[in-house]
Amino acid sequence: MSQSAHPARPDSTHTTTTSPTPDTAGPLSGVLVADFSRILAGPYATMLLADLGADVVKVEGPGGDDTRTWTPPVRGEVSTYYLGINRGKRSIALDLRTEDDAALARELVRRADVLIENMKPGGMAKYGLDFASVRRDNPGLVYTSITGFGSGAGRHVPGYDLMVQAVSGLMSLTGDPDGPPYRAGISVFDVMAGNHAVIGILAALRHRDTTGEGQLVEVNLLSSALTGLVNHSSAYVAGGTVPYRMGNAHPSVFPYEPFPTADHDLIVTAANDGQFRKLCEVLGAPALADDPRFARNADRTAHRAQLRPLLTERLVTRGALEWFELLVAAGVPSGPINTLDGGFAMAERFGLDPVVTVGEGDRAVPTTRHPIRFSATPAAYRLPPPELDEHGARLRAWLAGPEETAHG
């Protein structure tokens, strides 16, 4: 068979959501994901897959995912960290140190289309859940492993986002030039690796559709970091230049940073000559665009110290929101520096409907909308983040029973 046939699945109790199409099958309908991951990169990836219709079974140890206890903040008594990355899944608690539970886990994997795990390299092998072991019974399985530093010489190094921000060089690029290095405000490489895992899974499923063959998909945080540093990585790899901290300035473009206004700072990003000319016109200083020191981006970057005060003296005459309206209307990218509530408010203003509700009654949870829009198969929000082992009894009964069909 060119595509694995799916075994019978236990029914999920889907809750009513605010989605306009709550009964949509989703583009990944019929794909069973055995999720052995925890904390952020893996759970973020499997949440995105669940939004797109995949049946995600979250396998947790008896103590649950670490993020269940990462508080504050909380909603009720539940960690908002956990709530933010675990919708759409069913939970079964298995103690893999016991043979009975390890056998159930192996049966789940035998029936699955995708496995995702982020244990230390080799950690799954002691339970008979490593790629070499499980592919014998399930050759169509897409086995996805997320590590910090790969499965080779870096396999012994624990993988936490903050460590990778440090060793990758990101922290050396973040902060004031004369100040200490800073971490990014979020676990940016965990999220990036989660997205890379989704890309890898989808590509491997496409390959399986054609050949019937599964494969091992490996993602590591350091590689995600180095590709995610894009222009800075290229500056080093292609140009032999080691970038350095520049605060909020951009090494290759000016103006492309915050500027003071009459009240709050405003981001101004005139990234090409045409945008810069429009900026000067809105500021009432069209002659700046014809000044040979500022005519081209390379000139503006070289003479940023002379240009910045000339722009600032005009920007401080009005408030940030007033300039934002004027500049955007003229085609100049700009934006106020919001707190997170302001970011959601801006998304609401632009009709992006950034918040959806999953679940109902006392299980209803506001959550951030899936970032991708589909014209034919929209994301759906079927299940609230599960309580620990919430679906364990039904899943155990299903795994202990016969399959109606087997993988081809």
Residue pair 239/232 in contact by the 8 Å Cβ criterion: no
String of DSSP letters for 32-71: EEEEE--TTHHHHHHHHHHHTT-EEEEEE-TT--GGGG--
Q: Provide the 3-class DSSP secondary structure of residue 314.
A: helix
Phi, psi of 132 (to 5 degrees): -60, -35
Q: Is the pLDDT of residue 74 over 60?
A: yes
In the prediction, which pLDDT does 25 show?
78
Q: Is the pLDDT of residue 87 over 50?
A: yes
Cross-strand partners of 215? 142
Which secondary-structure segment (H or E) carries 321?
A: helix 320-329
What is the DSSP secondary structure assignment for residue 72, as one 8-state letter? S
Q: Which residue has the higher pLDDT, 19 or 225?
A: 225
The pTM of this model reads: 0.89
Q: What is the token pair recorded at 6?
A: 């799916």
In the prediction, which pLDDT does 36 show?
98
String of DSSP letters for 286-308: GGGGGSTTTSSHHHHHHTHHHHH
In the prediction, which pLDDT does 402 show?
85
pLDDT digits over 149-208, tens only?
Answer: 999 998 999 899 999 999 999 999 999 999 999 999 999 999 999 999 999 999 999 999
Q: What is the token pair recorded at 281?
A: 């016109």
CA distance 63 to 70: 13
Q: Is the pLDDT of residue 408 over 70?
A: no
In the prediction, which pLDDT does 327 show?
97
Q: Provide the 3-class DSSP secondary structure of residue 351.
A: coil
| Confidence grade of residue 18 (pLDDT, cut at 50, 70, 90) | very low
In the prediction, which pLDDT does 7 show?
43
Q: Which residues contact 354 (CB under 8 A, 6 or more apart)?
A: 344, 347, 348, 368, 369
pLDDT digits over 223-240, tens only?
Answer: 999 999 999 999 999 999
Which of the following is catalytic: 190, 263, 265, 291?
190
pLDDT digits over 360-386, tens only?
Answer: 999 999 999 999 999 999 999 999 999
In the prediction, which pLDDT does 404 show?
55
| Confidence grade of residue 20 (pLDDT, cut at 50, 70, 90) | very low
In the prediction, which pLDDT does 153 show?
93
CA 407 to chain centre: 31
Question: Rg of the chain over CA atoms, in angstroms?
Answer: 25
In the prediction, which pLDDT does 6 show?
45
pLDDT digits over 271-303, tens only?
Answer: 999 999 999 999 999 999 999 999 999 999 999
Cβ-in-10-Å burial (0-12, 13-18, 19+) of 175 comes to: middle
CA distance 151 to 149: 7
Which secondary-structure segment (H or E) carries 153?
A: none
CA distance 55 to 88: 8
Cross-strand partners of 286? none
Share of the chain above pLDDT 90, in %: 91
CA distance 81 to 40: 9
Annotated active-site residue 190? The verdict is: yes
Q: Is the pLDDT of residue 309 over 80?
A: yes
| Confidence grade of residue 407 (pLDDT, cut at 50, 70, 90) | very low
Cross-strand partners of 92? 59
β-strand pairing of 334-336 with 266-269: antiparallel
CA distance 296 to 303: 11
Q: Provide the 3-class DSSP secondary structure of residue 353.
A: coil
Average pLDDT, the chain: 92
CA distance 408 to 395: 22
Q: Is the pLDDT of residue 217 over 90?
A: yes
